[in-house]
Amino acid sequence: MLNSNFEPTNIQASDTGHIIVDVHQIVKDWNGCMIADLMVQYMYSFKVGLIKTIDIKNVL
């Protein structure tokens, strides 16, 4: 099992109609040892007011 923490740091709308959310992601094991500490970006697309897709990518 993992202990994950996701903290949005920025939310913006793109020119293409997507919503882009920058997220600071920290993942630890149950002993508290750090497994990952990184920035990721979630890009949401919508159709008829509902979420159609969510793409996730690492931000270097």
C-alpha distance across the termini of the chain, in Å? 26
**Closest Cα partner for 28 from 9, 3, 47?**
3
Q: What is the pLDDT along the chain (60 residues), one digit of tens a residue?
A: 889 999 999 999 999 999 999 999 999 999 999 999 999 999 999 999 999 999 999 987
Residue 60 has a pLDDT of: 73
Cα 37–Cα 33–Cα 4 angle in degrees, nearest 5: 50
Residue 28 has a pLDDT of: 96
pTM of the model: 0.82
How many domains is the chain built from?
1
Q: Beta strand pairing status for 34-47 and 50-58? A: antiparallel
Print the domain residue range for 45.
Answer: 2-58
- At 5, the amino acid letter reads N
Residue 19 has a pLDDT of: 97
Residue 49, domain CATH = 3.10.450.50
